């Protein structure tokens, strides 16, 4: 089993990273962690090259992730909540999945293939649960673009008062979700 984690937090020992590390320990197989803040990846500029070609006009580190799309079994999107959304750099990074939308939907290319994958959404929020509806919807749209079905969400909230490492509710959620991914092989 191969799992790709796209981490949209800039904090090296932050709340998202705590969940990622705990989950990683519980998951079988190979883990590929991409911290989007460390990547040299430009946002999609809607140049529409992908309206004609099965590729992206921008040549940068995104090629690593493109290469993994038909290889990994799971994709995990992890983000802190910023302004009730996924973080800007994560949204910028995944805007480069637009090439798949262009090929599959805009061009209806009969040769389009995207491996079906399983997904998970990890969220960290300073405030309460009421923040999470919109980012969960966004994360599901992003996962859908890469043919990834979300199996669930692990969220830690009110991190302003209780950081993830002190959130007693996380252990069981992580065990349950890891079990789900591990058994879905
Ligand atoms: C620019 C910015 C915007 C934020 N906006 C929200 C918000 O809208 N709702 C919320 O609950 N927390 C918000 N927060 C708090 C973070 O979501 C919270 O601190 C989170 O646990 C950080 O996760 P991390 O340590 O994984 O980066 C914001 C933090 C920053 C820096």
pTM of the shown model: 0.97
Q: Is the pLDDT of residue 115 over 60?
A: yes
Give residue 29's pLDDT.
Answer: 97
**pLDDT at position 185 over 70:** no
Q: How confident is the model at residue 183 (pLDDT cuts 50, 70, 90)?
A: confident
Cα 52 to middle of ligand 1, angstroms: 38
Cβ–ligand 1 contact at 90 (below 6 Å): no
pLDDT for 131 equals: 87
Q: How many residues does the chain have?
A: 185
Q: Is the CB of 159 under 6 A from ligand 1?
A: yes
The pLDDT, as a whole number, for residue 116 is 98
Determine whether the shortest distance from the Cβ of 3 to ligand 1 is under 6 A.
Answer: no
* Euclidean distance between CA atoms 135 and 126, whole angstroms: 14
Distance 181 CA to ligand 1 centre (A): 27
Q: Whose CA is nearest to atom 4 of ligand 1?
A: 82
CA 35 – CA 54 distance, rounded (Å): 26
Cα–Cα distances in angstroms (integers) from residue 133 to residues 137, 140, 150, in the given order: 6, 11, 14
Read off the pLDDT of residues 34-48 as tens digits, 9 standing for 90 and up: 999 999 999 999 999
The domain in which residue 92 lies consists of 2-182
Q: What is the pLDDT of residues 118-170, one digit of tens each?
A: 999 999 999 998 789 999 999 999 999 999 999 999 999 999 999 999 999 99
Any ligand 1 atom below 6 A from CB of 158: no
Q: Dump pLDDT digits (tens) for 59-96.
A: 999 999 999 999 999 999 999 999 999 999 999 999 99
Q: Is pLDDT at 6 greater than 90 in this prediction?
A: yes
Percent of the chain with pLDDT over 70: 99
Look over the chain and give the mean of its residue pLDDT values, rounded to a whole number: 97
Residue-level pLDDT at 84? 97
| Confidence (pLDDT) at 130 | 79
> CATH number, domain at 47?
3.40.50.360
Q: How many domains does the chain have?
A: 1
Calculate mean pLDDT across residues 17-36: 98
What secondary structure does DSSP assign to 126-144, as a single string?
SS-GGG-HHHHHHHHHHHH
């Amino acid at each position: 089993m191969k799992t790709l984690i796209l981490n949209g937090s800039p904090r090296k020992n932050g709340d998202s990273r705590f969940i990622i590390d705990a989950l990683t320990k519980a998951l079988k197989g190979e883990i590929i962690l991409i911290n989007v803040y460390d990547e040299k990846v430009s946002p999609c500029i809607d140049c529409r090259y992908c309206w004609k070609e099965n590729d992206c006009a921008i040549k940068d580190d995104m090629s690593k992730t493109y290469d993994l799309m038909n290889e990994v079994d799971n994709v995990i999107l992890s983000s802190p909540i910023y302004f009730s959304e996924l973080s800007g750099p994560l949204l910028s990074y995944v805007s480069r999945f637009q090439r798949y939308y262009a090929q599959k939907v805009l061009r209806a290319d009969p040769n389009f293939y995207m491996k079906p994958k399983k997904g998970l959404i990890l969220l960290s929020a300073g405030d309460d649960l009421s923040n999470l509806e919109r980012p969960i919807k966004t994360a599901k749209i992003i996962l859908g673009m890469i043919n990834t079905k979300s199996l669930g969400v692990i969220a830690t909230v009110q991190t302003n008062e209780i950081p993830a490492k002190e959130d007693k509710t996380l252990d069981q959620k992580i065990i349950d979700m890891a079990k789900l991914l591990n058994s879905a092989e």
